[in-house]
Each structure stands twice: as structure tokens, then as C-alpha cells.
Structure 1
Amino acid sequence: MIRPLNATVAGCAAIIGYLMATGTLVTGAVILFLVVFLVTGAGNAINDYFDVEIDRINRPDRPIPSGAASAKGVFVYSSILFIAGITLSLLTNPFCIAIAVANSLLLIWYAASLKRTPGAGNAAISYLTASIFLFGGAYAGPEGLLVVTPLALITFFAMLAREIWKDAEDLEGDRAQGADTLPIRIGVPPAIRLGFVFLAGAIFASLVPVIWWGLYYLAGIATVDILIMWVGVKALGCKTASCLKKSQVTTFVKYAMFVSLAVFAVSAVLL
């Protein structure tokens, strides 16, 4: 069912995306929060619907396995949330509507099968996270979308690296349960190197806003980029899943993403 905290954080991220695109807020931006909250909640619910057999073993406390809700009821609930979110998006603009519809379809596809496809599932989650900022920026039109695109790219690449490394950390457990992940397919060292490539992509994307925010922004984002590069080098020093887990690189990537978000927010308002 809906995860209120996750949906709330996602909704706030959309508003932050708009703030970064314009440097200000308008009361109409609340519609962004509501659309993202509803679509995210729908994604949570449809995920519970498709994961019912797995949840009977791993999460018996979830609504369907516990008997608190029926599978049909959860499916209907999810459908209502999707429809409500897309309907509300009609109050925005064509860019936002397109993102809302595309993300709703992707959430359904992800829950139904894509999450079990090595690499593709990781990419889908990374895109869905990054696209929240695109949705917020799109409310300000093409120019707003352009401004938040670097942040979306940073989020996508950093999330993708983190997702791949998380799968590498969990390799032994996933293999024991018969799961099929990218690190199981290609091995831990190649997965670590692939994650490093995506992390480098995040660094390159972070430099684009220097064009419109100048040297003050560069001074702030350089600190984040140094942290990201340090995390990447730290990961490259590992050859095994246990080493990667002990290095806590996935935690550091998360911290770096929060700091980069702060740099973007300050730059959008002050520069």
C-alpha cells in the first residue's frame, strides 16, 4: 500500500525541482506535490500487488499477506491513485502531463516484470527518482526543464551507481535466494567498475550549471565532486561483496546526493 513518508518526500522533491528552476515558489506548485504523492503511492500499491508471493515469505506484515487487504482491493486502490494523479496533472502543462503518464506506465511495468531484469530494473528506479526533479522543473516550462536537467542527470547517474553497488553488496544473499542481478551476471569487480563509470557521469553533469550560475556554484559543487570521486576510488579498491559493504560507499553516495541538492537549491535562490 501507500508509503506515506516515501510519497511525501517525493512530493517535496518535485517542489524543490520547481524552486531550483525559478528561484521562487508559487501557491500553484502545491499541485506538483499532490500529483507526485498520488503517483508514488500508486506505485507502492501496485508493487505490493505484484510482489504478494514474495511478501508472504519476506514481508508477511504487508497488507495482502497479512489479510488486511485483498489483492483485488489493492489493485483497485492503486488504479484509483494513478488515475487521480494523472487527472490532477492535467492542471499543469503538457510537459508535466507527459512525465506523469510515462512514469505511471513505467511504475506498472517495473512492478510487473522490469524489477526482475538485471540492470534495467536499476535504471528504471534511477530514472524514476531523477524524473521527480524534471517534473518540478517542467512546471516552469522548457527553460525550467533545462535548468533542472543537470540535477536530474546527477541523480540518475549517482542512483544507478548506488543501485548496482547495493546489488553487489547483497550478492551472496541474492544468489542464495535464486535472484538474478547484474553483479550475479557479470561479477562483483566489473559491477564496481561500472558503478564508477556512472559516478563519473554524475560529476560531469554537475559541471554544466557553471554556464549559468558561475564560479560561486563551481566552488560549492567542487566540494561534492571531490566527495563523489573519493567514494568512487574507495569502491574501486574493493574486489568482493563483503569489502564493498564494509566500505559503506552506498551510504556515502546518498550523503553526496543530499549535499549536491543543497548546493543546487542555494544556487537557484541566490545566484
Structure 2
Amino acid sequence: MSRIKDFLGLIRPINTVGVVIAVILGSLISGGFDFYISIICIISAFTAAAGGMVENDIVDLEIDKINAPERAIPSGRVPKNHAIIFMIILFAISQSIIFFTNWLSIFIITTGNILIVLYSLKLKKLGFIGNLIVGITTGYCFLLGGASFAGGASIINLTRFPVYITAPSLIRVIFPSVSAFLMNVGREITKGIDDLKGDKEKGIKTLAVVLGPKKSRYFAISFYVATIIFSVVPYLLGYFTIIYLLIAILGVDTLLGYSIYSLLKDYSSKNAHKIKKIVMFGFYIGFFAFLLGIPFF
């Protein structure tokens, strides 16, 4: 039983469940839910994210032996070769089952899996490029959900079981995807300020490492400002109702505004740690803003 618990710990269940929620929301925002394609996309996204978590622990093994020896792989509770096999199985499930869906979903998962693998192997150490990859893959979760419902029929002619809550629209799901990208890139830069000491030891060239926390905070702030400006676009273009706009402004934008003000005053690691949590809370409020702001039938 403890062995199972160790393997489950490798996939970071809380993080991977967040991926599942994003895909479901993407599907609902695009118009509904398909009990065939949407569920396959959820499983594919979950196993892709889980594979990425395991890969990250494998790549960071030598560092974790020093900084986090209690983790499953460095402690020996999960042998490295077993972790590698587990990772391969997860990515294999993700990539194989997606071929039972449509071409757009296949494209999103395939490119997403490539980015996830490259992120842990190389891109994470490139700092800002790694931040962009995190933002892209986060936005991909919503796009995948939208593609599962409004992205066309499956390439294998099997019966679909769609439930409609509004008229299907793939364009509608682009808005939460862009918002997720902007907000998460800003959060990743803020996280770099928080993790400055550890990232220096790991050789990760975050903006905080390269430019220092004082200058790097302005990059984070610029993405938060862009998120606030973009938040009115879905309403102005008529894709979401006034309910969305009110929640976005009073919930998400207010928290981002506070985060900007706080970072301008204090760019310490301690404050950055607080801000990244606030931004994540705003991210989840954004979920509900988009969901409740759908123009239902």
C-alpha cells in the first residue's frame, strides 16, 4: 500500500487534478460535454501531466538527493528504473488514446507532450523560455477541452454522446486559454523570485537569476497588466456575458492589481511566495468567471 502511495505521490495528484478541471471547463465553455471524446481527452491530459511530473523528479534526482532526500526516488522508495518505466507508461497512454479523438485534439496533445518532455530535459533551465512553456501548456488544457467538444468528429467513426449547454464555439475557449497563458507566465516569473536561491544552485537561468529580482518583477508585472487589459476583450466581443466581466474585474483583476502594487513595494522572496499564491487563487476565480459567463441558450 505504501508503494502505491509513493507512485501516486510522484504524479502530484493536486496539480494533475487541476489539469482535469481545466479540460472539463474548456469543454463546457466551448458549448457542452461529450461523454466519448471529452473523457478520452481528460484521461490523455491527466496522464501527460502525470508523466511530466515523474520525468521532472527523474531529471532532478541528483539535486533532490541533496535538497529533498525524503522524496520517493532519491530516498529509494521508488527505484529510478521503475520511475522511468512508470513515466513511459503514462506518456504512452496519453499519446495512444488521443488517436481515438479528432485531429485538433491529437495535435494539441502531441505538441503538448513534446513540450513537456523538452521542458524537464532542457527548457526549464533556460528560465524565461521555460516560463513561456508552462504558460503554453496551461493554456493548452482549455484548448484541449474545447477541441474535445467543438473540434470536429472523431477520426474513428464511433458514436458520440454530446450534452449541449449552449451553441458550440471553438473560438470561445481561446479566451480562457490566452488568459491562462498570460497569468501563468507572470506567476512563473514571480515564482522565480521566490525560488532564487535554489534556482542558482540548480543552474536554472530564470529572469530573477539573470537580471535580479528588482528588474525581473517588472516582467511579471507586465504579464499581470496584460491579463487585466485582456480580461475585458471576451465581453466586448460578445462571447461572454456581463456576469463574466463582473467576476473577472472584482475577483481576478482586483487580486492582480494588488499583486502588482505589492511587487512594486516589495520584491523579496517572502513576498513573491505570497504573491504567487494570490495569483493562483485568482486563476481559479477566473475558472468560474468564464464558466458562469457563458451565454446559455
Do the two structures share a fold, i.e. TM-score over 0.5? yes
| Alignment of structure 1 residues 56-67 onto 2, 5 Å | 56-67=65-76
Q: 2:196 is matched with which residue?
A: 171
The 2-side partners of 1:42 and 1:222 are apart by 36
Q: 1:120–1:203: structure 2 CA closer, same or farther, 3 Å change rule?
A: same
Q: Secondary structure at the match of 1:82?
A: helix
| Alignment of structure 1 residues 153-168 onto 2, 5 Å | 153-168=178-193
1:219 aligns with 2:239: no
Q: Secondary structure at the match of 1:68?
A: coil
Q: 1:266 is matched with which residue?
A: 292
Using the TM superposition, give the Cα deviation of residue 31 of structure 1 relative to its aligned residue in structure 2, in angstroms. 1.5
Return the structure number with greater helix share: 1
The 1-side partners of 2:198 and 2:78 are apart by 30
**Contact 1:171 / 1:241 at 8 angstroms: preserved in 2?**
no
1:180 aligns with 2:205: yes
Q: Deviations over 1:91-139 (max 9, x none)?
A: 2111111111111111111111111112111221222222111111111
The 2-side partners of 1:14 and 1:78 are apart by 21
The 2-side partners of 1:4 and 1:214 are apart by 33
Q: Secondary structure at the match of 1:60?
A: coil
The 1-side partners of 2:200 and 2:47 are apart by 35
Question: Percent sequence identity over matched residues?
Answer: 27
The 2-side partners of 1:60 and 1:18 are apart by 40
Q: Secondary structure at the match of 1:140?
A: helix
Using the TM superposition, give the Cα deviation of residue 221 of structure 1 relative to its aligned residue in structure 2, in angstroms. 2.1
Q: 1:132 is matched with which residue?
A: 141
**Contact 1:15 / 1:32 at 8 angstroms: preserved in 2?**
no
Q: Which amino acid aligns with 2:195?
A: D
Q: Deviations over 1:11-51 (max 9, x none)?
A: 222111101111x3332222222111111111112112211
Q: Which amino acid aligns with 1:203?
A: I
Q: 1:123 is matched with which residue?
A: 132
1:27 aligns with 2:35: yes
Q: 2:230 is matched with which residue?
A: 205
Q: Which amino acid aligns with 1:225?
A: D
The 2-side partners of 1:243 and 1:68 are apart by 32
Using the TM superposition, give the Cα deviation of residue 79 of structure 1 relative to its aligned residue in structure 2, in angstroms. 1.4
Q: Deviations over 1:202-228 (max 9, x none)?
A: 123222211222434323322132332
**Contact 2:241 / 2:295 at 8 angstroms: preserved in 1?**
no
Using the TM superposition, give the Cα deviation of residue 82 of structure 1 relative to its aligned residue in structure 2, in angstroms. 0.9
The 2-side partners of 1:86 and 1:120 are apart by 24
- Alignment TM-score, normalising by the size of structure 2: 0.82
| Alignment of structure 1 residues 3-82 onto 2, 5 Å | 3-22=12-31, 24-28=32-36, 29-82=38-91
Which segment drifts farther, 97-106 or 74-83?
Answer: 74-83
**Contact 2:34 / 2:148 at 8 angstroms: preserved in 1?**
no
- Alignment TM-score, normalising by the size of structure 1: 0.89
Q: 2:122 is matched with which residue?
A: 113
CA RMSD of aligned residues (A): 2.2
The 2-side partners of 1:242 and 1:111 are apart by 24
**Contact 1:11 / 1:32 at 8 angstroms: preserved in 2?**
no
Q: Secondary structure at the match of 1:209?
A: helix
* Structure 2 unaligned blocks of 5 or more: 1-9, 152-167
Q: Deviations over 1:171-200 (max 9, x none)?
A: 245446665321121122221111111111
Using the TM superposition, give the Cα deviation of residue 169 of structure 1 relative to its aligned residue in structure 2, in angstroms. 2.6
**Contact 1:39 / 1:85 at 8 angstroms: preserved in 2?**
yes
Q: Secondary structure at the match of 2:33?
A: coil
Q: Secondary structure at the match of 2:149?
A: coil
